[in-house]
Amino acid sequence: MAGGGVKGGFRYGKTDDFGYYAIEGRMTIHDLHATMLYLMGLDHERLTYQYAGRDFRLTDVHGTVAHEIMA
């Protein structure tokens, strides 16, 4: 994502001593999708598609944009 608006050489978050669990700065897949859509200039809350007569969002209801990783 470098060159797309994210700080280059930047590490985000912190894990436990074994590197297994994220303990600080957790980012879910919904947050990652929301951030990438934001960097492309799209509003993730308005991006919906219809399937089986129901509206769906790529980020579901969980995604939040991680502004702290942007340049």
Looking at residue 18, what is its pLDDT?
Answer: 92
The 3-state DSSP composition of the chain as helix, strand, coil percent (nearest 5) reads 20, 25, 60
Contacts of 57 (CB under 8 A, 6+ apart): 44, 45, 47, 48, 63
Q: How far apart are CA 69 and CA 5, in angstroms?
A: 9
User: Can you give the pLDDT of all 71 residues of the chain as single tens digits?
Assistant: 777 778 778 788 899 999 899 898 888 889 889 988 898 898 888 888 888 988 888 887 888 888 888 87
Looking at residue 61, what is its pLDDT?
Answer: 80
Looking at residue 49, what is its pLDDT?
Answer: 86
Q: How far apart are CA 35 and CA 1, in angstroms?
A: 10
